[in-house]
Amino acid sequence: MKRIVIFASGSGTNAENLIKFFHNRETGSVILVLTNNPHAKVLERAKSLNVSAMSFNRVAFTQNNDVLNILKASKPDLIVLAGFLWKFPEHILNEFPNKVINIHPALLPKYGGKGMYGSFVHEAIVKNKETETGITIHYVNEHYDEGAIVFQVKCAIEPSDTAEDVAAKIHELEMEYFPKVVEGLIKD
């Protein structure tokens, strides 16, 4: 059974979806949820599903080895960023090469990079009158949203769609495809 650790910063709907997907599955299990936000709803979601969850600060993440040591002790086969907003530090990436993935709410390389997350992405897509968008699951490297792409899926955008409409379409794609892609990666 493969071990999955999730990093999230907010409400945790993707984390919850992954935890439920892998509950009672033989392929893998979510063993830990980590967040940079001590008030994130993801902490409640994880604990309500009997998954250990904890928050950390920037010093523990980037300057000393606290988060790295937690990860080493957890022995994850895959680290999944699910709405995690901080840039992942190189010292952790070096310890877990090709074992950290992220989900992005657009078709990279479009609408990626620092500051392009959540509603900012959807608003930019609507403002630029795009006719399609989607999700990208990619490996994490030392640059925002530039790691090798694992999976993309598209959806159409209607001229009348608002940023909220786009967000709802993206959420549906995330709920359907993210767990399946994660499972495919841990099976390989």
Cβ neighbour number for residue 67 with a 10 Å cutoff? 21
Whole-number Cα distances in Å, 57 to 16, 98, 161 = 22, 24, 37
Helix (H, G, I), strand (E, B) or coil at 132: strand
Query: Whats the size of the chain, residue-wise?
Result: 188
Least Cα distance to 86 among 57, 119, 53 occurs for: 57
- Annotation marks residue 143 as catalytic: no
Contact 89, 71 (CB under 8 A): no
Which residue is catalytic, options 104, 122, 138, 143? 104
Active site residues: 104
